[in-house]
Structure 1
Amino acid sequence: MPTRLLLDTDIGSDIDDAICLAYLLAKADCELLGITTVSGEPERRAMMASALCKLAGKHIPIYPGLADPLLVTSRQPQAPQADALARWPHETDFPRGEAIEFLRRTIRRYAGEVILLTIGPLTNIAVLFKTDPEIPSLLGGLVSMGGMFDPSRTRYWRGSRWEWNIYCDPHAAAIVYRAPVAIHRSIGLDVTTRVTMNAAEVRQRFRAPLLQPVLDFAEVWFQHAEKITFHDPLAATTLFDARICAFERGEVHVELHDPDAFAVTRWSPGVNGRHEVAVGVDAERFFAEYFGAFAS
């Protein structure tokens, strides 16, 4: 049976969201039920998702979600990679104000079967869980690219102790991590920072037709970066190959009260915990799985 999946994404900021979506569209055993976008300019983010779906020949429901975080100031008010959209056909008209209801309705329709993959700030998901408190228990799984659970493994990320998706809306993240999901799996900077590719290799290896708009979006990214870190695609591949990452169980707490550690994800290992965090990654296996999806 194909894996039934909902994707919540801030595509248009870091390039790895587009890389992730291309993989999911290419993956034969992935049934992508819908896409919701989050963070500044959610409609332009929806257009980027539409461009990839159109090229893949798939009619995936796309819903722009919430633009602003719950309490903090928006840290990514724009979707800069959408500037490359002119070269790729895409939809421009999307349902407005319906993203949360779409997620709620879809999860209830396929109760116990849907994997919710979050690769952006958790604003949409927090509001979903508060709107319908039963939803967490109806998920088949919740997988998030987010967090940093052992900063010593990454020697801190860009000088910080927090991870961007959590930092962009820490209050939403706290709500989601407190929700009664049977298992909430997180793939954080501890492992994602070990799967990277420099710009020259990206241009060489992104040959598949579905990766051509991604490469266009990446050129915007390469104006201020020399490489890509495959944060979000790594989270996605773990849904289809359980041996790519090793996980440990425990509890995740998002710090909201300590000003010196605001938005830090604190990790307490424990076999009875509701959370799983990635603690190891097989980078070679990841790249084989990722690019293999485009070869079939």
Structure 2
Amino acid sequence: MKKVWLDTDIGGDIDDALCLAYLLRQPACEMVGISTVGGEVEQRAMIADSICKVAGRHIPIFAGADRQLLPSDLYPTPGGAVNLSIFPHDTHFRKNQAVDQLRAAIREHPHEISLVAIGHLTNIALLFSLDPEIPMLLKELSIMSGVFSEALERSLNMPQDNWNAWLDPHAAAIVYQANVQHVRTFGLNVTTKLVLEKQEKEDLFHTDVMKAVERFGSPWLENHPMTFHDPLVAACLFEPDLCDYQRGQIEVDFMHEEKLGMMSFRESVEGRHEIASAVDRTHFFEHYFSVVCG
């Protein structure tokens, strides 16, 4: 049984909700807590709480950092919040509560918590800066961020498409410089292979939990494909063989305006970081469906 804490910007791209649904249904997962990051963190916490309640689960949820580390005009809001009135949820959430709660949980369970970060890294950077011992007390840190493909970098709207690092590059730099024992990163080089067309799994949104996921993700799906970026991060906690990996060192650019948040990877057997380099698409979806729809 893994103790898992999920840090998420749920409420925009449907993949955060797809990831949460997986963790709630994964029998080997003990959800220690959930924290939200990004604009309107209280509403993001309400969305997470709605999905947990539909699943019949009572998970501690805390709203986190509402703004990036440095002043910025960027303030993403959760489009899925328009559907909050449909589902029961708590409304007591207050911003900037997550870091203290996450710190307490890691202190209470040293070397036991797997931290899954699928939003921009502001909460995690604040935590590491507040308590520099915390990185060494984590069991592992799994992150959805980066591109790690020259071809994709040329074809995508870079660096903005590297959203989780670009939105708060200083936070990303702090996190990747920290002394975490095991850091594994899943970039667009693998996650973009996990687009699912509706006809491939017509009954995906058949259960009550997945109906809630679909409803909160509906504003996103009106204009975007359904790509399982974040669910891959969670699934590989329990089925690491879904991906191949390379070991090396990641650096985040936080100095040059035209490259803010761009993440470079240098392969090295002595590196502290791992990146996913390939994914077995068929195996991933078979595993995801078996957990969420089984």
- TM category (shorter chain) comes to over 0.9
CA distance in 2, matches of 1:73, 1:202: 40
Unpaired runs of 5+ residues, structure 2, are none
The residue identity in structure 2 corresponding to 1:165 is N
Deviation at 1:78, TM superposition (A): 1.1
Which structure 1 residue ranges, 4+ long, deviate > 6 Å from structure 2?
Answer: none
Partner of 2:248: 250
Query: Offset of 1:7 from its aligned partner?
Result: 0.5
Distance 1:213 1:263 in 2: 32
Residues 202/295 of structure 1: CA separation in 2 closer, same or farther (3 Å cut): closer
Q: d(CA) in 1 for partners of 2:16 and 2:154?
A: 22
1:183 and 2:182 are equivalent in the alignment: yes
CA offsets, 1:199-244, max 9 Å, x none? 555664222221011111222112222x111110011100010111
The Cα offsets for residues 70-123 of structure 1, whole Å up to 9 and x where unpaired, read as 115253431111111111111111255321110000001110010000000000
- 1:82 maps to amino acid: A
Q: CA deviation at 1:182?
A: 1.1
In structure 2, the partner of 1:128 is: 127
Q: Distance in 2 between matches of 1:39 and 1:74?
A: 12
CA distance in 1, matches of 2:64, 2:90: 16
Matches within 5 A, 1:40-119: 40-119=39-118
Give the stretch that moved more between structures: 128-137 or 212-221.
Answer: 212-221
Instruction: State the SS of the aligned residue for 2:196.
Output: strand
1:220-231 residue pairs with structure 2 within 5 A?
Answer: 220-225=219-224, 227-231=225-229
Q: CA deviation at 1:256?
A: 1.6
Which whole-Å CA distance do the structure 2 matches of 1:4 and 1:239 have between them?
Answer: 11
For residue 265 of structure 2, give the secondary structure of its aligned residue in structure 1: strand
Corresponding letter in the other structure for 1:18 = A
Structure 1, 10-19 or 87-96: larger mean CA deviation: 87-96
Contact 2:204 2:210 in 1 (8 A): no
Once the two structures are aligned, what percentage of the paired residues are identical?
42
Q: Distance in 2 between matches of 1:157 and 1:285?
A: 27
CA distance in 1: counterparts of 2:73 and 2:27, whole angstroms? 36
CA contact (8 A) 1:199 1:222 kept: no
Match of 1:19?
Answer: 18
**Structure 1 residues 209 and 248: CA distance shift in structure 2, 3 A:** same
Conserved 8 A contact 2:42-2:94: no
Q: Secondary structure at the match of 1:276?
A: strand
Tell me the number of residue pairs that the alignment of Structure 1 and Structure 2 aligns.
Answer: 293
Contact 1:72 1:169 in 2 (8 A): no
1:206 paired residue number: 205
**For residue 9 of structure 1, what is the aligned residue in structure 2?**
8
Task: Point out where structure 1 has 5 or more consecutive residues left out of the alignment.
Answer: none
2:230 corresponds to = 232
Q: What TM-score, normalized by structure 2, do the two folds share?
A: 0.95
Aligned residue identity for 1:186: T
The code of the aligned residue for 2:268 comes to G
Equivalent of 1:285 in 279, 283, 286: 283
**Counterpart Cα distance in 2 of 1:56 and 1:181:** 32
Is the 1:65–1:100 Cα contact (8 Å) retained in structure 2?
Answer: yes
CA distance in 2, matches of 1:15, 1:93: 24
> Aligned to 1:6, what secondary structure does the other structure show?
strand
- Provide the rounded CA distance (Å) in 2 between the counterparts of 1:44 and 1:151: 36
